[in-house]
Chains A and B, each alone.
Chain A
Amino acid sequence: EDQVTQSPEALRLQEGESSSLNCSYTVSGLRGLFWYRQDPGKGPEFLFTLYSAGEEKEKERLKATLTKKESFLHITAPKPEDSATYLCAVQAADSWGKLQFGAGTQVVVTP
């Protein structure tokens, strides 16, 4: 069974204090790993897709990396507007497009 575990559950950062979120996964043949951002009371917003180990993608202060067992979302010099819950999801090669989500990491960035 596909599993996704995110850590930590919550992270409190000072503005400018860089950190990383972890997403560990087990899947029978990875088609893609996805990162989403979710603001309170809103739907998840698509950030990145990673397809193979060694791949990296960046968007503003966010950088996602992928290994064979986990993915990291690095937040560099965060600002208060980066406060959100970050969700990781995996898609197995035989899943017909279905995603298995982790429970998320809630990030709070204080000025």
Chain B
Amino acid sequence: DADVTQTPRNRITKTGKRIMLECSQTKGHDRMYWYRQDPGLGLRLIYYSFDVKDINKGEISDGYSVSRQAQAKFSLSLESAIPNQTALYFCATSPSRQGSSYEQYFGPGTRLTVT
């Protein structure tokens, strides 16, 4: 079974609709992240969470919100979807070892299309 799972894998929605993307992990990591990927722009951080009570905005958080329901679950919501939110969305996790780097492990992604 995959360590980081995302649902749905593909989603087509209309402008103005509210949608939620879900992420679950079995790696036992405290830290979780949401990224979007656009051609030529690389991966950009939307939100990150260091534990259930610690949630922070990334570089492109406008138009998005998140919920950390448990250590293993981190959801991303688009309150009112717009076409320029069409992208690949990735969830990632990392360990929180004090004094070391924090390599991140990614889920398979959700391809979101807003029409």
Residue of B31, B101, B108 near A32 (CB, 8 A) is B101
Contact across chains for B101 and A43 when beta carbons are under 8 A apart: no
| Segment 44-99 of A: residues with Cβ below 8 Å from B | 44-46, 49, 51, 87, 89, 91, 96-99
Residue of A42, A97, A103, A104 near B102 (CB, 8 A) is A97
- Cβ of B87 under 8 Å from chain A: no
Decide yes or no: A99 and B104 within 8 Å by CB, A44-B43, A104-B42 being known contacts.
Answer: yes
Contact across chains for A87 and B106 when beta carbons are under 8 A apart: no
Contact across chains for B58 and A98 when beta carbons are under 8 A apart: yes
Interface of B is mostly: strand
Contact across chains for A103 and B42 when beta carbons are under 8 A apart: yes
List residues of chain B with CB within 8 A of the CB of A36: 106
| Segment 13-62 of B: residues with Cβ below 8 Å from A | 31, 40-45, 48, 50, 58
For the A-B complex with A91-B101, A97-B48 known, give 17 more contacts whose Cβ atoms are closer than 8 Å. Answer: A32-B102, A41-B111, A42-B109, A43-B90, A43-B108, A44-B43, A44-B90, A44-B106, A46-B103, A46-B104, A46-B106, A87-B43, A97-B31, A97-B50, A97-B94, A98-B58, A99-B45
Chain B interfacial positions (CB closer than 8 Å to A):
4, 31, 40-45, 48, 50, 58, 90, 92, 94, 96, 101-109, 111
